[in-house]
Structure 1
Amino acid sequence: MITVFGSANMDLVAYVPQAPHLGETVSGTEFRTVPGGKGANQAIAAARAGAEVAFVGAVGSDAFGPALRAALDDAGVNTEGLRVVDGPSGIAHIVVEEGGGNSIIVVAGANGTVTGPSARDLEVIAASDALLLQLELPMEAVVAAAVASPAPVILTPAPVVELPDELLDAVALLVCNEHEAAAITGLGVPDRALEALLERVPELVVTLGSKGALYGSRDGSRLWAPAVPVKVVDTTAAGDTFVGALAVARAEGRGPERFLRFASTAAALSVQRAGASTSMPSRHEIDRALEDQPLANP
C-alpha cells in the first residue's frame, strides 16, 4: 500500500493560444474545472497504476470539497483520512498554452490548516510500502509526517522552498525536476545538481522533460532513462503522474531502470490528454505501452 499525505485542490484550467503578460488580457479557447492538487494527483496516479492507496489531507466545506473527495473515491483511493474543515478548499488557477506548457497559481485553502498526521494517520502510514509527500501543505506538517514515518519517504519538493535538514534526513528518495534541482542547489547543470543533492538524500531522480530522467544513489549508481517521444497536449500533472507511477513500480520491487521506464511511460501517456487527474493512465494502458517500448535489460 502507498499512503499520500498531501494537498487536494480544485484546478480551474483556462486554455489559451499564449499566456498573458502582466496587465494583458487574452481570449481563451476553453475552460475546465478539474480535481487536482499535487497530493491528490499522486494518489490517483498511483491507484490507477495498480496500487492500493490511502490519502491523508483536507478539503473545505465549500462545493469543491465533495467533488474532490469523489474524484479520489472514483479512482479507488481510500479517503478515510481526508478531513473536512470550515472554509474554502484549495484551488489552483492554471493557464495552459497551445504547446502544452502551463503556469499555475495555488491558493492553499483547507490545505493550509493541516498541521501533521493524526495517530490514526500514522497507523495507516506504518502499514504502507511508501509515504509520498509534496510541499503544498505547511512545512511543519510535511516534516512531522516525514519524521514520524516508518515507511520509506518519497518527497517531491514542489513548490520549491528551502528544505530543512530535518526533512531531508527522513527522505529515502527525492524526485524533482531540473528546475527544482537548480533552485535547491544553485547549480544549473542537472548532473552537478544531482551530485550535490546526493550529499543530502540517499536516492534521487531528476526529471528532464523531453530529455528523460537522471537517477543516482549514494552507492555510486548512476542512470539516464530516455523520455518516451509523444505529441504533447497538456503537461499539467505529468510530474505527479511520474511520481505516483514510480512509487508503485518501486514498491513492487523493480530496480531503477525499470521503475524509471514505468514512470516515464505513465507520464508520456498523461501529457497526450488534457487535464490533471483526468489525464492519468490505467495500469493496463501503462503495461500495454511498455510492451511496445521494452527495456534493454528487463
Structure 2
Amino acid sequence: MGYAVVLGEALVDLLDGEYDGQPVYRQAIGGAPLNVAVGAARLGAEVEFVGSLGDDVLAGRILDFLGTAGVGRRGVVLRPAPTTLGVATFAGAEPDFRFYGEPLSYGLLGPEDLDVPLVEGAAVLYAGSIVLLCPPVLAAARRAWALATGLRVFDPNVRPRLLPDRAAIADLRDVVAGFVATADLVKLSAADAEVLYGDDPAEDVALRLHALGAGAVVITAGARGALVSASASGTSVWLPAPVVRAVDATGAGDSVMAALIADLIVDGPPAEPTGWLARVGFALRVAGLVCESPGGAVAMPTRAEVARRFPT
C-alpha cells in the first residue's frame, strides 16, 4: 500500500467555550496538516508527519498524541521555542482562528531538515496550509515537492487573518500556483477560493486550477457539499453533504483531505475519473461525522464509525 507523508503545522488550539456560566478555552491538539495526518491514519493509512515542534510540555503532548493516533514521527524536528497557540472563537459552528507564538514553533523546519529517503519513498505527499507563509518551511515544502516520486496532493487552507493586504494575497496566489502546477489532487474550500480568486464560481475556479496543471480538484462548501472536477475535459459535479447535527466545523475540511489521502494509500488512484465521485462522497460523510463532535484531530473517525453513522 505504501505510506503518506504529511508536511505542515502542528500546534495547540484553544477553543472558545463556556463552563459553569463562565467563558473558558478548551485545549485541543491541532493544525490542519496534523488533522489530516491523524484523520488518514484513523481511516487505515500509514502516515508520517513532517514538521517542526517546540520544546515545551505542549510539544510533548503533540508527539504523544501523534504516536497514540498511529502517525509516524520520523520527520519531526524539535526547536527551542514555545508551542504556537491557535485561539478559536466561534460564530455558530465555524471557527475563527488567531495565532500566537514567537517564533512560530511550526515555522522552523528548513529544507535541510527533510528526511530525504522518507519523502522520496512516499506513495502520497501532502503539502499546504499556513506553513507556506513561513519562508523556511515553504522552501522545505518546495524541496519535498521536487523530491516526491508518488502522488502529490495540495490544500492551501487559507487563513485570511494571516494575509494583511492584497499584496500578501497575491504572493500566496503565486505560491499556490507553483504547487498546483504538478498536483495530482487539489482540495480547497469555497472560502479559500474566494480569498484567492474573488467571486468566481467554483466551476470556474476548478477550470483555473486545471489550467495551471492540477489533476483532480475538489472544492468543499460546508453544508452545500463539494464540487468534484476530475479533469479539465470532464464535467464538474456537485455532491451533497449529509445532513448532520453540526456543533463544531473545526477540522471538517481537513477530514475530507484525510479521507481522500487514505483512499489513495489503501486503493491507489481511481481507475476512471468518475471514481473520484464515490471517494468524495465518502469524504463528505467523514466530514459530517467530524462536525458532530467538538475539536479537530480528536474528532477524526474510523471507517467503522463512519459506517455506523451513515449506513448504506
TM-score w.r.t. structure 1 length? 0.87
Contact 2:13 2:86 in 1 (8 A): yes
Counterpart mapping for 1:104-253 below 5 A: 104-107=97-100, 109-116=104-111, 118=113, 120=115, 122-137=116-131, 138=134, 139-159=138-158, 161-164=172-175, 165-200=177-212, 201-216=214-229, 217-251=231-265, 252-253=267-268
Is 2:4 the counterpart of 1:2?
yes
1:209-240 deviation per Cα after TM superposition (whole angstroms, max 9, x unaligned): 11110111124242221101101100011111
Specify the alignment match of 2:298 in structure 1.
278
C-alpha separation between the residues in 2 aligned to 1:177 and 1:31?
A: 26
CA shift at 1:262, angstroms? 1.5
The percent identity for this pair of structures is 25
Determine the C-alpha separation between the residues in 2 that align with 1:156 and 1:32: 26
The residue type paired with residue 130 of structure 2 is E
Contact 1:131/1:151, CA 8 A, preserved across alignment:
yes
Aligned to 1:66: 60
Aligned to 2:79: 85
Q: How many angstroms does 1:206 deviate by?
A: 0.5
Contact 2:7 2:33 in 1 (8 A): yes
Preserved CA contact (<8 Å) 2:77 2:113? no
1:185 touches 1:196 (CA, 8 Å); kept in 2? no
Determine the C-alpha separation between the residues in 2 that align with 1:117 and 1:283: 37
Deviations 1:262-298 (A, max 9, x none): 21111000000011111111121123345x2x4xxxx
Equivalent in 271, 287, 294 of residue 267 of structure 1: 287
Distance 1:169 1:176 in 2: 15
C-alpha distance in 1, partners of 2:154/2:280?
16
- Equivalent residue pairs, number: 281
One-letter amino acid of the counterpart of residue 57, structure 1:
G
Mapped to 1, the partners of 2:143 and 2:183 lie a distance apart of 12
**In structure 1, distance between residues paired with 2:76 and 2:183:** 23
Maintained 8 Å contact 2:157/2:189 = no
Query: Which digits, 9 at most, give the CA deviation of each residue in 1:158-206, with x for residues without a partner?
Result: 2263233432223211100012112222333212222222211222110
1:129 partner amino acid:
A
Q: Is the Cα–Cα contact under 8 Å of residues 247 and 291 in structure 2 kept in the other structure? A: yes
What residue number does 1:288 align with? 308
For the aligned residues, what is the CA RMSD?
Answer: 2.0
Q: Which amino acid aligns with 1:151?
A: G
Partner of 1:258: 278
SS of 2:179's equivalent in the other structure is: helix
**Is the contact made by 2:124 and 2:264 (CA closer than 8 Å) also made in structure 1?**
no
- Which amino acid in 1 is paired with 2:194? A
| SS of 2:234 mapped into structure 1 | coil
Aligned partners of 2:120 and 2:147 also within 8 Å: no
TM-score, length-scaled by structure 2: 0.84
Change (3 A) 1:86 1:119: closer
- Give CA deviations for 1:20-47 in whole Å, capped at 9, x if unaligned: xxxxxxx854421110011111100101
